[in-house]
Structure 1
Amino acid sequence: MAIEILSDELVNDGHVMRVTVRIPAGDKASMVREGLLGLAQEARLAPGEGGEIRAALEDKFGAENVAAGLTSYVASMAAPAVVNQKNLHIMFTPQSTVERVDGLFDENALEMKIDLILRPEYELTDYSPVHVKRQSIEITDKMVSLQIAQEMERFASFEEAGGPLEVGDYAMFDMTTQVNGEEAASLSGKNSRIALVRGEMPDGFIDAVVGMMPGDERTFDFTAKLPGAPENAAPDTFNVRAKLIEKRLRRVPELTDEFVRESMKGAGVGETAESFRAAVKERMEAQLAQQQKLQDENMVDAELAKRLDANIPDLYLENTHRDILQNMQANLAAQGMTIAQYAQQQGANEQQFSMMIAMHAHESLRQGFALDAYFRHMGQEVTDADIDAALHEMTPGHEEQARANFDKNGAWFVVRETAARLKAHNDAVSKAIFE
């Protein structure tokens, strides 16, 4: 990729390098084609020729929005050549200085301005090994018993039982449900198994069906909020017609030698209840050791960050805050949730949640800059083994594909900087004094 740097200047108090680049027509066409394909995949549009994809995207999102998306993509793809030519250390995704550039679809070379946020260099007040105070935790017999009780739940069975329904029973219903006068297919059906457990089902439903016998039918109303409803939303009105098919009791088997031999054969837990208990405890201790290791490493990074001599500019805090929110939004969307719903689950309002993200962004930056300073001060260098370790950390199980991608886009500087921080982190952890 023959990207030509026409000019550069430092802006925003020297934290941003603004470069004017010239992208040859052939490279521009390739970037635009790849960008269109990427946008089409995100929009789940059927693959087609370049012109067809562009037309479909513009029809769905509008020509200006498509041009804006392509402008961002072209800027991000052209930036690695600038970083490599000028040996820069940057942070965040490079951005075009304008929302949309002209000439994306013609046959000429493209000139555009790109802003690159430079990685600042700070120092630590002290480079001696950090001291970390550990919290002593051990696996107790009570903890093992609780874990075993949870695992035995997997073997629970449901047995038909007589008598009237009681709180805590499991029941099979044929039922139809309306919510606010509208049919609710997802809450209707035949042989629907329902646990009459408070907190899992609305109290209004449980109170209405308690006392029913198999064959009984009842029609009743109650109010409750649908899952995920805003905190200040009014309750919904449910109208239910339910017929009890059968009542069931949930039975959890007792842990005995016979149960272990028959139900856990080949699981590597021995043949007795005592050997199963020992295996559970051993597994819990291994998990605790791994958690302790991660906690130790996090505490080392946090202690290093306390030594950072820096007043981080808002530019870096705002971009980190934005990146954290965007990543969180994408992850939650894959689970069918919004950030507002997640914040509500955490017991925080919008302002409190935003403050939590801001604090996380601040600490994340301080820890990263502290590792950068440590790496430079210790005179460390990135080796091929460090690159391998960084690729494994970034894309576990997909290292070869990642190599091919970095070879193609020239963004190996991302891997090198990750490798440098990882090497500094590992060295600081190995020298830390744990008390």
Structure 2
Amino acid sequence: MKATWEKIEKNLGVLEVEVEAERVASALDQAFQKVVKKINVPGFRKGKVPRTIFEARFGVESLYQDAIDILLPEVYTEAIDETNIFPVDRPEVDVEQFEKGQPFKFKAKVTVKPEVTLGDYKGIEVAEIDTEVSEEELNEELARMQERHAELVVVDEEAAQNGDIAVIDFEGSIDGVPFEGGKGERYSLELGSNSFIPGFEDQVVGMATGDFKDVKVTFPEEYQAEELAGKDAVFNVKVHEIKRKQLPELDDEFAKDVSEFDTLDEYKEDLKKQIADRKEKEGKAAREGEVVEAVGANAEVEIPEAMVQSEVQNMVRDFDNRLRAQGMNLDLFLNFSGQTIEDLQGQMKADAEKRVRNNLVLEQIAKAEKIEATEEEINKELADMAEAYKRSTDEIRNILAANGALSSLKEEVLLRKTIEFLLDNSKEVPAEQLAAKSEAKEEAAQEEQGE
């Protein structure tokens, strides 16, 4: 087989391939074996028609398309490897010659992974990580722990206020006619949570146990149920019970209840360490994002639309998986939000383009710096996954291999190593200084656009 590659513009080129006549003959044999099982010829059982009889009756040309379908994917893959190109979209194939006894010739227009011209990627300024824990941060964490361990106490003789749980019956109607989905019994509604139609919770505030009230609201114009959107409605509401959170006292007993420590002071010291660790991790994640954004912006690369669309599809699929983990799915989400799949894809496009750009730049930096994902590092990833999923390392490897995900794992390890390299070669500056530089740069850009 002969294969040549010629770039014609940007990320587009022509792959020209010539395949030996012997492989054409083999593909025709395979096509015949496939087709002969489906045809009926008088005097012969199905699948037993001799090749010569078949070709005399139907012509060898009747096998050409099936033979091309068999041979083309195989030789196209070989041609890609031989010319060392990386396609990112389906090729436009033009068959120039396919005949019995002759070589198979075709040309394919192929969009390939773009070339990246790197800018500065060492010495990128990133914000210093501040792990000092203020008294305010500690108090906020303690308040969250109080909320988490609060008890709900029934309030008998006081009016409901924001933050209370009102146990209510409600039935909604429009012009006196009840509508579907507008009724609930003994529903626990947290006032101030904004989980009901705007204005509903505000009108329940002030009601007491046993009270009845007509709550008047207007459905939003963008409401997911079109038959209710923009309509005025009345809800008959009855309050069965009001529950209020009772926060525990911040004392040694509280510390014993929520932790392994005997005193509140010991618990506070441990909380400070936890907050500091969290700030360290969050700070590192922020720095990773900063350095990747910076090197991406400094590089030059023209991204094929096919790569962006492919990433959008990946993002939609990931989003659907997250929804399913929460007991929903993409179709339900689109119905509730009043969006189309095209709307969602449009919202994701800018992020998809940025992801593709940054990944291409990181790959190029890895090549420039000869950064590689070693077999030992891949094996460690597999071992960690095996431990997490309670499976053997071989099982995990086989599952990934069967789904074509081993190469993705290697790419992920490589990208992580590259980001670590960038962080190791970055320059830490105070966050305030970095923010001031960013603001000045943005103002200069706006002034330039104004001119």
TM-score where L is the length of structure 2: 0.61
Check conservation: 1:332, 1:339, Cα contact below 8 A. no
Check conservation: 1:80, 1:410, Cα contact below 8 A. no
Pick from 374, 377, 399 the counterpart of residue 383 of structure 1.
Answer: 374
Describe the superposition over 1:110-134 as per-residue Cα deviations: whole angstroms up to 9, x where unpaired: xx99987533332424464544343
Pick from 366, 386, 400 the counterpart of residue 357 of structure 2.
Answer: 366
Alpha-carbon distance, 1:256 to partner: 1.3
Counterparts of 1:79-158 in structure 2, within 5 Å, are 82=78, 85-86=81-82, 88=84, 90=86, 95=90, 117-126=111-120, 128-134=122-128, 136=130, 138-158=132-152
Aligned amino acid, residue 192 of structure 2: V
Counterparts of 1:249-288 in structure 2, within 5 Å, are 249-261=244-256, 263-264=257-258, 267-268=259-260, 270-288=261-279
> Given the alignment of the two structures, is residue 245 of structure 1 paired with residue 265 of structure 2, yes or no?
no
Give the distance between the partners of 1:361 and 1:413, measured in 2 at CA: 21
Aligned amino acid, residue 191 of structure 2: L
- Matching residue of 1:300: 291
Give the distance between the partners of 1:421 and 1:25, measured in 2 at CA: 43
> Given the alignment of the two structures, is residue 188 of structure 1 paired with residue 179 of structure 2, yes or no?
no
Check conservation: 1:156, 1:251, Cα contact below 8 A. yes
Describe the superposition over 1:197-234 as per-residue Cα deviations: whole angstroms up to 9, x where unpaired: 37344564446555545334445543334996399983
Give the distance between the partners of 1:16 and 1:23, measured in 2 at CA: 29
Distance 1:309 1:9, change over 3 A: closer
Single out whichever of 152-161 and 310-319 deviates more from structure 2.
310-319
Alpha-carbon distance, 1:288 to partner: 0.8
Alpha-carbon distance, 1:284 to partner: 1.0
Indicate the structure (1 or 2) with the bigger Cα radius of gyration.
2
- Matching residue of 1:432: 426
Alpha-carbon distance, 1:279 to partner: 1.8
What SS class does the counterpart of residue 309 from structure 1 fall into?
coil
Distance 1:117 1:139, change over 3 A: farther
Distance 1:432 1:161, change over 3 A: closer
Give the distance between the partners of 2:265 and 2:221, measured in 1 at CA: 45
Check conservation: 1:15, 1:120, Cα contact below 8 A. no
Alpha-carbon distance, 1:286 to partner: 0.6
- Matching residue of 2:24: none
- Matching residue of 1:65: none
What SS class does the counterpart of residue 124 from structure 1 fall into?
coil
> Given the alignment of the two structures, is residue 159 of structure 1 paired with residue 153 of structure 2, yes or no?
yes
How many pairs were matched up?
362
What SS class does the counterpart of residue 167 from structure 2 fall into?
strand
Give the distance between the partners of 2:365 and 2:245, measured in 1 at CA: 58
Alpha-carbon distance, 1:352 to partner: 11
Check conservation: 1:167, 1:206, Cα contact below 8 A. no
What SS class does the counterpart of residue 165 from structure 1 fall into?
coil
> Given the alignment of the two structures, is residue 289 of structure 1 paired with residue 283 of structure 2, yes or no?
no
> How well do the aligned residues superpose, as a CA RMSD in angstroms?
5.1
Describe the superposition over 1:57-82 as per-residue Cα deviations: whole angstroms up to 9, x where unpaired: xxxxxxxxxxxxxxxxx9xx989965
Q: Which runs of 5+ in 2 are unaligned?
A: 20-26, 35-69, 94-105, 430-451
Alpha-carbon distance, 1:157 to partner: 1.9
- Matching residue of 1:107: none
Distance 1:89 1:425, change over 3 A: farther
Give the distance between the partners of 1:360 and 1:311, measured in 2 at CA: 16
Single out whichever of 418-427 and 231-240 deviates more from structure 2.
231-240
Give the distance between the partners of 2:240 and 2:231, measured in 1 at CA: 27
Alpha-carbon distance, 1:390 to partner: 6.2
Alpha-carbon distance, 1:246 to partner: 2.9
